[in-house]
């Protein structure tokens, strides 16, 4: 059901009454989950995107793309025994560090973070951290040390959402930034991982990281529903997703009716086995939406570039057109088109601060963003002063020329 191709017939008939209601499983408790269907079946109808300036203006989300290479370069400097490096150490690592331009030019864009000076040999430019950036770097290391267990639990949940409870090493490395794991977190498994983690060989010779855990893991949706007293933890129990419609967003009545019935479907946790679900059923879509909700709730900014999540399709049992799940549920997710990319944002994290646990690294990243803002001010001041100096020099030359002419 999730992503069927639209036809003329289905576009005319958006809803079809079924013989049984959504609560038929109460009379037949042993029915397999894939037999649960909605009273209203929803077809692949286009959902018009609506701009929301509130989510487009959240700085910690939209600065994250630029902050990532800044942190990578900062780590290169702070890990050096001398606390400074020549530009030659990183000038050819721009692609690896995801720097969007020449590395030297990029470093000079942030004078409140990187301080440039002339090196001891060959007059090469060298860079070190400013005192402010160095202080935040020390705080970041303290947070990583104090919150190691929290970071480990986030990584564990991330892996437990996969079908086989194992993910390729390269995928985990690719999601480190979103999970808030330090660059060296996976380089020291004895220090940062517990006995529930183990390294395995996957198909195609890939190295993977698996988790063995017998304890039941509750999702954010389940924990919040329990706090509200609307969920007791029974199998296939219904939980309604919290919705936060943007101002001015209006759904057609037939779509609103479908959504109302969709909310009443049983909730399948992203940590539960889903092999018995019919991938074309409504309940399977609810499982996909729940997984995306849980995934974003684990991330630092509770957001991610949509294209970066596509690598998870195979391992987490997501449909081929999983990107449409974000589009079909605009009251749960917002798609921002800033920075020439598409960023999926979990609305609940920014509309109900008590619902989603705050990532311990978020405050530190915000401090770096403040330094980025200060850098912009410094560069602007330099440009103004440079123009003023040029005008002053030009004026002085004119005056000198005038005086010489008068003397002659």
- Summarised one tens digit per residue, pLDDT across range 69-120 is 999 999 999 999 999 999 999 999 999 999 999 999 999 999 999 999 998 7
The pairs formed by 23-28 with CB atoms below 8 angstroms and a separation of 24 or more are: 23/264, 25/236, 25/266
Residues 6+ positions from 377 with CB-CB distance below 8 Å = none
Residue 399 has pLDDT above 80, yes or no: no
Residue 3's Cα: distance from chain center in Å? 24
Q: How far apart are CA 229 and CA 207, in angstroms?
A: 43
Structure tokens at 405: 């002419």
> For residue range 54-65, what is the model confidence (pLDDT) as tens digits?
999 999 999 999
**In terms of pLDDT, which residue wins out, 361 or 28?**
361
> For residue range 229-264, what is the model confidence (pLDDT) as tens digits?
999 988 889 999 999 998 887 878 888 888 899 999
Residue 404 has pLDDT above 50, yes or no: no
> For residue range 143-188, what is the model confidence (pLDDT) as tens digits?
999 999 999 999 999 999 999 999 999 999 999 999 999 988 988 8
Q: How far apart are CA 65 and CA 339, in angstroms?
A: 8
> For residue range 131-155, what is the model confidence (pLDDT) as tens digits?
999 999 999 999 999 999 999 999 9
**In terms of pLDDT, which residue wins out, 388 or 223?**
223
Q: Which sign does the torsion angle of CA 84, 89, 92, 96 carry?
A: negative
Q: How far apart are CA 349 and CA 367, in angstroms?
A: 20
> For residue range 181-213, what is the model confidence (pLDDT) as tens digits?
998 898 888 889 999 999 999 988 889 999 998
| Mean pLDDT of all residues belonging to the chain | 85
- Stretch 272-286: mean pLDDT: 90
Q: Are 283 and 22 in contact (CB under 8 A)?
A: no
Q: What is the pLDDT of residue 5?
A: 42
Q: What is the pLDDT of residue 270?
A: 96
Longest dimension (CA), the chain: 111
Q: What is the pLDDT of residue 101?
A: 95
Alpha carbon dihedral 252, 253, 257, 259, in 10-degree steps, equals 20
> In this structure, how many other beta carbons lie within 10 angstroms of the beta carbon of residue 94?
17
């Amino acid at each position: 059901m999730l992503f069927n191709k639209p036809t003329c017939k289905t576009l005319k008939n958006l809803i079809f009454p079924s013989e049984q209601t959504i609560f038929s499983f109460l009379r037949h408790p042993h029915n397999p989950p894939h037999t649960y269907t909605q009273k209203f079946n929803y077809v692949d109808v286009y959902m018009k995107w609506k701009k929301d300036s509130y989510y487009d203006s959240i700085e910690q989300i939209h600065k994250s793309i630029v902050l990532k290479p800044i942190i990578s370069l900062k780590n290169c400097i702070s890990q050096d025994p001398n606390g400074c490096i020549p530009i030659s150490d990183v000038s050819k690592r721009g692609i690896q560090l995801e720097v969007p331009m020449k590395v030297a030019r990029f470093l000079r864009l942030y004078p409140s973070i990187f301080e440039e000076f002339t090196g001891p040999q060959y007059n090469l430019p060298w860079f070190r951290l400013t005192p402010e950036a160095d202080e935040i770097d020390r705080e970041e290391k303290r947070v990583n040390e104090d919150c190691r267990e929290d970071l480990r639990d986030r990584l564990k949940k991330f892996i437990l959402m996969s079908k086989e409870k194992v993910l390729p090493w390269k995928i985990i490395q690719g999601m480190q930034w979103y999970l808030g794991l330090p660059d060296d977190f996976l380089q020291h498994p004895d220090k940062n991982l517990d006995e529930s983690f183990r390294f395995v060989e996957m198909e195609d010779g890939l190295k993977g990281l698996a988790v063995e855990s017998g304890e039941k893991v509750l999702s954010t949706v389940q924990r919040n529903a329990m706090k509200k007293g609307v969920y007791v933890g029974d199998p296939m129990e219904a939980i309604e997703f919290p919705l936060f419609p943007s101002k001015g967003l209006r759904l057609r009545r037939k779509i609103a009716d479908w959504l109302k019935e969709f909310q009443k479907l049983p909730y399948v946790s992203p940590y539960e086995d889903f092999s018995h679900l019919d991938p074309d059923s409504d309940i399977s879509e609810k499982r996909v939406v729940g997984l995306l909700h849980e995934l974003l709730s684990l991330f630092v900014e509770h957001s991610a570039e949509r294209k970066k999540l596509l690598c998870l399709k195979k391992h987490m049992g997501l449909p081929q057109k999983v990107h449409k799940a974000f589009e079909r549920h605009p009251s749960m997710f917002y798609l921002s088109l800033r920075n020439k990319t598409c960023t999926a944002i979990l609305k609940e994290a920014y509309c109900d601060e008590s619902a989603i646990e705050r990532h311990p690294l978020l405050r530190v990243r915000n401090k770096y963003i403040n330094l980025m803002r200060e850098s912009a001010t410094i560069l602007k001041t330099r440009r103004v002063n440079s123009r003023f100096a040029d005008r002053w020099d030009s004026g002085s030359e004119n005056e000198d020329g005038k005086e010489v002419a008068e003397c002659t």
